């Protein structure tokens, strides 16, 4: 009856007990609730990894959430090369389990190790900006290694070119600084932090995204 977890369809056959039996049962509603809870927890974990990437700092929270939902889990085996020096960069990786060696010009120059205790490690993030050649080879040295990956084409399909997002963020910051007449701390006014505000609700959605009232 496992298809009933996914589809609301008539049973194809009857199942009758021919002896005293003990069965475990789960209905579709609880099954989907568990999947959604696991999925939400994973997305939150992925976002924490993305928050550590400097090149992604101009992204808004909803942008990072969309990016986290697009990440793909990949498993690599020992001695497998994740990146090769000299290849054009196109994919960004978050190593969350396993150990890899960084090799440049045939010599090992370091290692990255990721686990639940040591946290995740990020590499290849410049590939989201351009096709710059890989500066080093990254090879798996543990029995297996698990990583999250996202290529530049998928990123741009979701959010547009990262270089433009970075540029827009930089321009907006400069404009805001130039228009701000005086720091509230210097004017004697009380400084209000976002954490002190209460979200009232959405006002609408415009060209640059959702507008909320706080």
Q: Residue 46 in contact with residue 61, Cβ under 8 Å?
A: no
User: What is the pLDDT of the chain when averaged over all its residues?
Assistant: 80
Give the pLDDT score at 207.
Answer: 47
Give the pLDDT score at 64.
Answer: 86
Give the per-residue SS3 of 62-76.
Answer: HHHHHHHHHCEEEEE
Distances (CA, A) of 104 to 83, 134, 136: 11, 10, 5
Q: What are the tens digits of pLDDT across the range 122-162?
A: 888 888 888 788 999 999 999 999 998 888 888 888 777 77
Q: Residue 159 in contact with residue 63, Cβ under 8 Å?
A: yes
Cβ-Cβ contacts under 8 Å for 148 (sequence gap 6 or more): 46, 49, 71, 72, 73, 74, 93, 94, 96
Give the pLDDT score at 33.
Answer: 75
How far is Cα 18 from Cα 41, in angstroms, rounded to an integer?
A: 42
Give the pLDDT score at 182.
Answer: 53
Cβ burial, residue 70 (10 Å; 0-12/13-18/19+): middle
Is residue 98 pLDDT above 90, yes or no?
Answer: yes
| Bridging pattern class, strands 91-104 and 121-123 | antiparallel
How far is Cα 83 from Cα 69, in angstroms, rounded to an integer?
A: 23
Confidence of residue 18 (pLDDT cuts 50, 70, 90): very high
- Give the SS3 label for residue 78: coil
């Amino acid at each position: 009856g496992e298809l009933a977890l996914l589809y609301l369809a008539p049973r194809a056959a009857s199942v009758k007990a021919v002896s005293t039996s003990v069965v475990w049962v789960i209905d579709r509603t609880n099954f989907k609730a568990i999947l959604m809870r696991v999925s939400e927890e994973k997305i939150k974990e992925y976002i924490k990894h993305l928050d550590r990437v400097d090149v992604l700092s101009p992204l808004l929270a909803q942008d990072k959430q969309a990016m986290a939902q697009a990440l793909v889990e990949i498993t690599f085996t020992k001695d497998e090369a994740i990146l090769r020096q000299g290849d054009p960069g196109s994919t960004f990786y978050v190593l969350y389990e396993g150990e890899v060696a960084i090799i440049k010009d045939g010599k090992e120059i370091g290692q990255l190790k990721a686990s639940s205790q040591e946290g995740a490690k990020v590499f290849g993030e410049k590939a989201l900006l351009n096709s710059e050649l890989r500066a080093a080879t990254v090879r798996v040295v543990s029995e297996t290694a698990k990583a999250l990956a996202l290529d530049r084409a998928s990123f741009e399909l979701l959010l547009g070119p990262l270089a433009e997002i970075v540029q827009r963020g930089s321009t907006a910051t400069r404009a805001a600084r130039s228009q701000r007449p005086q720091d509230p701390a210097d004017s004697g006014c009380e400084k209000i932090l976002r954490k002190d505000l209460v979200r009232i609700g959405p006002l609408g959605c415009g060209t640059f995204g959702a507008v909320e009232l706080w």
